[in-house]
Amino acid sequence: MNNVSELFGINVFNDSVMKERLPEDVYNILKSTIKEGNTIDSSIADTVATAMKDWAIEKGATHYTHWFQPLTGITAEKHDSFISPTDDGHIIMEFSGKELIKGEPDASSFPSGGLRATFEARGYTAWDPSSYAFIKDETLCIPTAFCSYSGEALDQKTPLLRSMDAINKQALRIVKLFGHTDVKRVNTTVGPEQEYFLVDKKVYDKRPDLMYCGRTLIGAMAPKGQEMDDHYFGVLKHRVAEFMRELDRELWKLGVLAKTEHNEAAPAQHELAPIFTTTNIAADHNQLTMEMMKKTALQHGLVCLLHEKPFDGVNGSGKHNNWSLSTDTGINFLKPGKVPEENTLFLLTLAAVIKAVDEHQELLRISVATAGNDHRLGANEAPPAIISIFLGDELTDILNSIANGVHHDNTERIKMNMGSEVIPAFRKDNTDRNRTSPFAFTGNKFEFRMLGSASSISDTNVMINTMVAEVFDEFATRLEKANDFKAEVNAIIKEVVEKNGRIIFNGDGYSEEWEKEAERRGLLNLRSTVDAIPLLKSEKNIAMFEKHGVLNRTEINSRVEIILENYSKILHIEALTLIEMMNREVIPAITAYTDKLCKTVLNKNSVGGINSTVERELIARLSAANSEIYSLTNQLKMAVATAECTATVLDKAKIYHDTVLHLMADIRKYSDSAESVVPEEQWPYPSYGELLFSI
Ligand code: ADP
Ligand code: MG
């Protein structure tokens, strides 16, 4: 099928399918549930389930699954077939409302961070009717939330849905104050841009570090990296272009609005951006996108790497979370309009985001803290670990003028003139682009750029939604009581500029001066996951999440445990992989080549009079490197053993961070220096050159 509009959503039980297949009253109930975020009426579940099943079977499906996002960072599914036996030894295909609404996968094999010790292993999945069911691999997938027997969230979706309700509740109070009484729901919207690498499967298969860890643990830099800036937006190679075309089609079939595909800054690095949609759907779609990237790549003899830093010395991969909020009547809170200084809803929302980000910096940092992303943040390629906001000069001026009670001069806002009559003139954006800011205002949305490429976008949006809800709550309470609305809005903006203005930074976020300046301003600089995560369970954060019904104390504590445990597990696997690579391949390879050089020296000596300085120098260098590698590898083994015997999750993670990571970096240094002088055919692993330029 070549017609994209016919292809789009072909595997989705979407609005038009529902309208066609459901009785009108059932359709209307379901539709209002979806639109207004109400609880589903269970009396309609049987009818919906039967319609879904019939539709799925017509499309060749034989199974169904509750599709959910446990705290592993990826999705989970348990497939059940539709078959049900009849008395006469045959089967019929059945799917009940009960099976649609509720599933009971055994929760004991999913991370629960201590919740399991105190509660039953039983877990429930519950249908999320606001995200459409779809067919993948002949299976009807029903997006669900996952919780424990006693109702604690064990997944990433539940808190996300709760946070969307929290911000809806507070944002409704705000829009009512502006007279928009027809608004029934305020939804946050997200467009996540996704970066990834593609490598040849044949080369990948020879790298245990890529196979076990998703990133290279050793590898000397290739003579060419990204310095020529010739990859970004460059012409697509044929194989990559074919992959992207197929990926788009697969995603379109699933109703994912894949829009933009291009090469990224590093060689072999690419990006996909979808059109934005409601946050929980965007989160589901981003998970599907990552899954489809991996699957489609394999069909093209490629492997898609989603790790945040697969190669040392070249840019890593991130995910940009473009966030805004809109009413069901179509008002975008963050759209400045032609005269932003007169758009009070916009200015108030801007102030709310500034205050939220300043007062809850650590939450944004926590939401992107993973072992993989630690290699990226602050490495002069991605935003630093310090949170700041880029507003651009014009909006900063507007806020300052309001704070100082002076008139804003807008004569600067001019049309773009490219100096040629044939090129049409267009209005310049309110802000230029600033690629170094972690949290940038980009026209009608905020773009948070610290997310790692492999993570779910859920955690980040749980944080943004909840912290903005908290500030909206405070603003709404003040404004509801105010006698002079406009004066109170100005007072709020003035206060935010004075108290929270320190978070605004329009300069170069990669510079060293900024790190110093940020410290002077008292901004947090949480360099690693181990520094950041424990702050999640501060009393201030627990109080806020509980107040808005997003996460309770038990859930927060369990999440802290899970994230730290996960951090240690990743480093454990990496360390074991590196030890094996050194002991079984690198050390023997260096020994073998040194041995060969020694034989050459002996041969030369036996002839006499032939200079063997080069061989002797190489022997000395390689032997020295090899003994360092050997000794460091033994130290690494000991460090891992010590970490694994450590009782508390935080102490254990600290050993991995403080000791294991450093030893791994040291080993790498010696291994890479040896690699650069050992002949290619005698080095056990494909080089960076092959990995990055083989497609
Ligand atoms: P870039 O970051 O390269 O400038 P774009 O301007 O094309 O990219 O937009 C990036 C993403 O922002 C896209 O996924 C787009 O759909 C999304 N986006 C645009 N408007 C909104 C909005 N109101 N809410 C959320 N995301 C949005
Ligand atoms: Mg972007």
pLDDT, tens digit (0-9, with 9 covering 90-100), for 296-327: 999 999 999 999 999 998 899 999 999 999 99
Q: Are strands 446-452 and 123-127 parallel, antiparallel or unpaired?
A: unpaired
Confidence (pLDDT) at 582? 98
For atom 6 of ligand 1, the residue with the nearest CA is 442
Q: Which listed ligand is nearest to 322 at the C-alpha?
A: 1
Asked whether the predicted pLDDT for residue 142 surpasses 50, the reply is yes
| H or E stretch covering 326 | strand 318-327
Residue 379 has pLDDT above 90, yes or no: no
Structural domains in the chain plus CATH codes: 4-155 (3.10.20.70), 163-410+422-551 (3.30.590.10), 566-693 (1.20.120.1560)
Please choose, from the candidates 308, 332, 222, 186, the residue with its C-alpha nearest in 3D space to the C-alpha of residue 570.
308
CA of 319 to the centre of ligand 2 (A): 8
For residue 437, how far is its CA from the centre of ligand 2 (angstroms)? Answer: 11
Count of other CB atoms within 10 angstroms of residue 216: 20
Q: Which residues contact 596 (CB under 8 A, 6 or more apart)?
A: none
In ligand 1, the atom with minimum distance to the C-alpha of 190 is: 25
Atom of ligand 1 nearest to the CA of 276: 16
Q: pLDDT at position 233, please?
A: 61
> Does the structure show a pLDDT above 60 at 426?
no
Residue 557 in this model has a pLDDT that exceeds 50: yes
Q: For residue 414, name the pLDDT band (cuts at 50, 70, 90).
A: very low
Half-sphere exposure of 424 (CA within 13 A, CB side): 2
User: Does the pLDDT value for residue 460 go beyond 90?
Assistant: yes
Give percent of the chain with pLDDT exceeding 70: 93
Q: Which ligand is nearest to the CA of 279?
A: 1
Which range is least confidently modeled, 61-75, 379-393, 492-506?
Answer: 379-393
Residue of 276, 280, 334, 449 best suited for mutating to test ligand 1, as the one with most atoms within 8 Å of CB: 276
Ligand in closest contact with the CA of 443 = 1
pTM: 0.94
Structure token digits, residue 503:
């978070």
What's the 250 CA to ligand 1 centre distance in angstroms? 22
Ligand 1 centre to CA of 656 (Å) is 37
Bridge partners of residue 263, in order along the sequence? 270
Residue type for position 400: N
Name the more confident of 374 and 230: 374
Strand partners, 135: 140
Residue 150 confidence (pLDDT): 80
* Each residue's pLDDT tens digit, 582-612: 999 999 999 999 999 999 999 999 998 899 9
DSSP 525: B
pLDDT of residue 500: 97
Q: Which ligand 1 atom is the nearest neighbour of the CA of 275?
A: 16
Kindly report the average pLDDT of the chain as a whole number.
91
From start to end of 62-200, where are the E strands?
A: 63-68, 76-81, 83-85, 91-93, 102-103, 123-127, 134-136, 139-148, 186-200
pLDDT at 116 over 60: no
To test the pocket of ligand 1, the residue of 322, 332, 445 to mutate (highest count of ligand atoms within 8 Å of its CB) is 322
Residue type, 61: A
Task: Give CA–CA dist 472/464, Å, rounded.
Answer: 12
Q: What CA–CA distance (Å, rounded) separates 237 from 250?
A: 20
Q: Which atom of ligand 1 is least distant from the CA of 274?
A: 14
**What pLDDT, on the 0 to 100 scale, is given for residue 553?**
96
CB 123 within 8 A of CB 71: no
CA 450 to ligand 1 centroid distance, Å: 16
pLDDT attached to residue 228: 61
206-209: long-range contacts at Cβ-Cβ below 8 A with a sequence spacing of 24 or more?
A: 206/685, 206/686, 207/685, 207/686, 207/691, 208/577, 208/580, 208/581, 209/574, 209/577, 209/578, 209/581
| Residue partners of 630: CB distance under 8 A and separation at least 6 | 582, 587
At 487-512, the pLDDT tens digits run 999 999 999 999 999 999 999 988 88
Q: Whose CA is nearest to atom 19 of ligand 1?
A: 276
List CB contacts of 416: < 8 A, sequence separation 6 or more: 425, 426, 427, 428
Among all ligands shown, which has an atom nearest to the Cα of 333? Answer: 1
Measure 134 CA to ligand 1 centroid, in angstroms. Answer: 25
By percentage, how much of the chain surpasses pLDDT 90? 77
Residues with CB under 6 A from ligand 1: 189-191, 193, 273-276, 320, 322-324, 332, 442, 444-445, 447
The predicted structure's pLDDT at residue 223: 78
pLDDT band (50, 70, 90) for residue 165? very high
Stretch among 29-43, 195-209, 274-288 having the lowest mean pLDDT: 29-43
**Nearest atom (ligand 1) to Cα of 324:** 24
Cβ burial of 513 (10 Å; 0-12, 13-18, 19+) is exposed
Can you tell me whether residue 74 is helix, strand or coil? coil
Q: Is residue 422 predicted with pLDDT exceeding 60? A: no
Q: Which atom of ligand 1 is nearest to the CA of 192?
A: 14
Atom 13 of ligand 1, nearest CA residue: 191
Band (pLDDT 50/70/90 cuts) for residue 113 is low
- d(CA 265, CA 225) in angstroms, rounded, equals 10
Q: Encode burial over 398-414: b for 16+ CB neighbours within 10 A, e otherwise.
A: bbbbbbeeeeeeeeeee
Q: Which of ligand 1's atoms lies nearest the C-alpha of 320?
A: 2
Mean pLDDT score, 251-266: 90
pLDDT computed for residue 34 by the predictor: 82
What is the number of the ligand closest to the CA of 257? Answer: 1
Identify the residue whose C-alpha is closest to ligand 1 atom 5.
273
